[in-house]
Amino acid sequence: MATSRLSDSTLEHFATVLQRRREELLHLMHANDEALGQVRESLSEGTNDDEHDPEGPTMSDEWSKLTGLQAEGVTELRELDAALERISNHEFGMCASCGTAIGRPRLEARPYTTLCIDCARKAETH
């Protein structure tokens, strides 16, 4: 198994970045949960018929938006946790496809990535 070519201080940096994003994401997901609860309550009461309101989104639209955000949050949370696990296993920063080091600029832009830029481009075209 390939070992990370990143220094301990670099790994600590990315662990901090990932953990901060994880905490931020959990906060956002909690707020979305609360908003979903409010929408669910409004829909179950049946008194808030906004389906014909030309001024704003319907409750159904709001529900769809919030559930989509939650699903995206769950996916990102899994990616963050997997990246933190790779740091623990000293596998962080290595391309899962070709085994080369992932460039630091790419890691800064997308710290939970598993592919170097070349492999990511190849994956997008297939």
> Regarding predicted confidence, which is higher, 60 or 80?
80
Average pLDDT over residues 68-77: 96
Burial of 65 (0-12, 13-18, 19+ CB in 10 A): middle
Whether the Cβ atoms of residue 18 and residue 105 lie closer than 8 Å to each other: no
Torsion of CA 37, 42, 44, 47, to 10 degrees: 170
Q: 9-61, pLDDT tens digit by residue?
A: 999 999 999 999 999 999 999 999 999 999 888 878 765 555 555 566 788 88
> Regarding predicted confidence, which is higher, 68 or 45?
68
In 3D space, the residue among 117, 99, 97, 100 whose CA is nearest the CA of residue 108 turns out to be 117
Q: 83-122, pLDDT tens digit by residue?
A: 999 999 989 999 999 999 999 999 999 999 999 999 999 9
Q: Is residue 1's pLDDT more than 50?
A: no
